[in-house]
């Protein structure tokens, strides 16, 4: 029995729907919903396929119902849950995701055959679903939620694979060269790619080939932000010999259209209202970014020593029990984690919040003058849209690569030192020095001016007739013709 959430199916007006297919995880789902909103606003009916992993990630039903209530053009179709996956010899959840999507293909095939969609848009980890689209004669696109520089790397990965028999983990600090992007050390490659014998690596490698075979790649960026990478990709310089160069559609920056203010959110914004313009450093490390207790104390000592105003989102340290890997983390015990007297000493010039803050609205607030970020692409784009300069502190996924691109290519961030050391600890002295540099130095002022220039370019790209808006309009016109 297939479960439908929200309104009736999106094709009730007679048009064939655009079907969006995110992989599991709230971050992937939210990105697809934002894409669905802008497609729906242009008159396309949208159905988002939801696939649940065989582990608990929390109930999404009320959230999805709220999305449909606010956006009648969007409906959700939940595939039957896979209760147990075949064993996969890997420690990387990405390999499990690839396997989950593969075993869900028969259910997807049944749904698509009945829905007759105009197009199927998948995220990176749902690439195997394009086999179903081709079988049914449905055009298949990727929605690539990282930037064009990461896209260039992925398109080129099969070339790198053929050139060497070494795994990235065996290359040390050897530089990886890809057309259109700065060289980066092999240590900064994505963790699931480190061992070329791991199933996760082969899942990525297959997806990289599918990028070339797709009908197009929709990228959450704008051309002027990553011009050199976009030009290299479009010119086919990243694509393996013998494979076609995919059509690339830069429609970004696509960020949250609104922030749902959860518990504690109003406190952040009210506190910011009382702070001077551009005086606050915002420290936030993504929805799953978590530090050890030792690192939290180093940040606390450093931010206090910097003398700057700050708003800091603190999460509980990660749990060592692999059985609890996907459990919702507990609220952090600030008294146990922070140095004794820290909250009292910094009261007035600092605010520590537990677990969550309304990041988009915080970055857009006039009082925020700097952002210490994990370099997740959504966070980068929110900072660019708000004109807030960044200190880069990457943690996972493609974030180490983003750090290189942000610092060396886009020149919108400066990295903290120590995150890639053997200990993996950024010292308090480094936190203090970099935060002061960002907020007080001439170098920080220049960084802020560059970020403001990028902000203006971003808004220009999104205005009516702007480059990203025109690209989206052309894509929608093409899909409308396929959706009579």
* Residue found under tokens 């010292």: 427
Give yes or no: 123 in active site. yes
Burial 375-395 (b: 16+ CB within 10 A, else e): bbbbbbbbbbbbbbbbbbbbb
Helix, strand counts (H, E) of the chain: 17, 16
Tokens of 397: 């996924």
* Residue found under tokens 């925020």: 368
Q: How far apart, in whole angstroms, are the C-alpha atoms of residue 16 and residue 22?
A: 19
Tokens of 204: 């990525």
Q: Which of 92, 93, 107, 123 is catalytic?
A: 123
**DSSP per-residue letters across 460-477:** HHHSTTSHHHHHHHHHHH
Q: How far apart, in whole angstroms, are the C-alpha atoms of residue 148 and residue 228?
A: 9
* Residue found under tokens 């990709």: 233
Q: What residue ranges in 177-301 does DSSP mark as E strands?
A: 184-185, 216-219, 248-250, 280-284
Evaluate the CA torsion angle 129, 134, 138, 143 in order and state its sign.
positive
Question: In angstroms, how far is CA 343 from the centroid of its own chain?
Answer: 32
CB atoms under 10 Å from CB of 17, counted, come to: 27
Q: Are 109 and 132 in contact (CB under 8 A)?
A: yes
Helices 428-440 and 293-306, packing angle to 10 deg: 40
Q: What three-state secondary structure class fits 75?
A: strand
Give yes or no: 28 in active site. yes
* Residue found under tokens 């749990």: 319
Q: Are 21 and 122 in contact (CB under 8 A)?
A: yes
How many residues are given for the chain? 484
Read off φ and ψ for residue 74, nearest 5 degrees: -110, 130
CB atoms under 10 Å from CB of 162, counted, come to: 10
Active site residues: 28, 123
């Amino acid at each position: 029995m297939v479960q439908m959430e929200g309104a009736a199916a999106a094709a009730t007006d007679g048009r064939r729907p655009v079907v969006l297919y995110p992989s599991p995880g709230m971050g992937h789902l939210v990105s697809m919903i934002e894409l669905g909103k802008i497609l729906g606003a242009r008159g396309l009916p949208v159905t988002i396929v939801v696939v649940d992993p065989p582990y608990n990630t929390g109930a999404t039903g009320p959230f999805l119902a709220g999305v449909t209530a606010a956006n009648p053009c969007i409906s959700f179709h939940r595939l039957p849950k896979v209760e147990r996956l075949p064993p996969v010899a890997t420690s990387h959840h990405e390999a499990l995701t690839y396997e989950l999507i593969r075993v869900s293909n028969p259910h997807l095939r049944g749904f698509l055959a009945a829905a007759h969609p105009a197009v199927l848009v998948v995220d990176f980890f749902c690439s195997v679903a394009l086999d179903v689209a081709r079988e049914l004669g449905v055009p298949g696109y990727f929605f690539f939620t990282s930037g064009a520089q990461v896209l260039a790397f992925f398109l080129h990965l099969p070339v790198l694979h053929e050139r060497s028999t070494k795994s990235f983990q065996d290359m040390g600090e050897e530089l990886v060269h890809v057309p259109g992007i700065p060289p980066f050390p092999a240590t900064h490659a994505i963790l699931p790619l480190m061992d070329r014998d791991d199933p996760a690596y082969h899942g990525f490698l297959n997806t990289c080939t599918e990028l070339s075979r797709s009908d197009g790649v929709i990228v959450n960026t704008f051309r002027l932000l990553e011009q050199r990478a976009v030009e290299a990709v479009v010119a086919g310089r990243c694509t393996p010999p013998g494979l076609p160069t995919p059509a690339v559609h830069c429609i970004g920056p696509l960020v949250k259209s609104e922030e749902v203010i959860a518990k504690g959110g109003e406190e952040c914004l009210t506190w910011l209202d009382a702070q001077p313009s551009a005086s606050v450093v915002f420290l936030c490390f993504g929805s799953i970014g978590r530090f050890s207790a030792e690192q939290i104390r180093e940040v606390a000592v450093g931010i206090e020593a910097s003398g700057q105003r700050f708003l800091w989102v603190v999460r509980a340290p990660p749990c060592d029990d692999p059985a609890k890997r996907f459990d919702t983390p507990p609220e952090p015990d600030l008294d146990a984690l922070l140095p004794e007297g820290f909250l009292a000493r910094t009261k007035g010039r600092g605010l520590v919040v537990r677990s969550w803050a309304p990041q988009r609205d915080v970055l857009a607030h006039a009082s925020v003058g700097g952002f210490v970020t994990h370099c997740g692409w959504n966070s980068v784009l929110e900072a660019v849209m708000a004109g807030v300069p960044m200190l880069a502190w990457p943690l996972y996924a493609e974030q180490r690569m983003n750090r290189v691109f942000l610092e060396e290519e886009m020149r919108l961030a400066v990295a903290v030192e120590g995150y890639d050391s053997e200990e993996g600890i950024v010292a308090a002295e480094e936190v203090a020095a970099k935060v002061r540099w960002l907020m007080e130095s001439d170098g920080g002022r220049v960084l802020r001016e560059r970020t403001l220039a990028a902000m203006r370019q971003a808004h220009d790209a999104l205005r009516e007739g702007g480059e990203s808006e025109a690209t989206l309009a052309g894509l929608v016109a093409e899909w409308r013709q396929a959706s009579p």
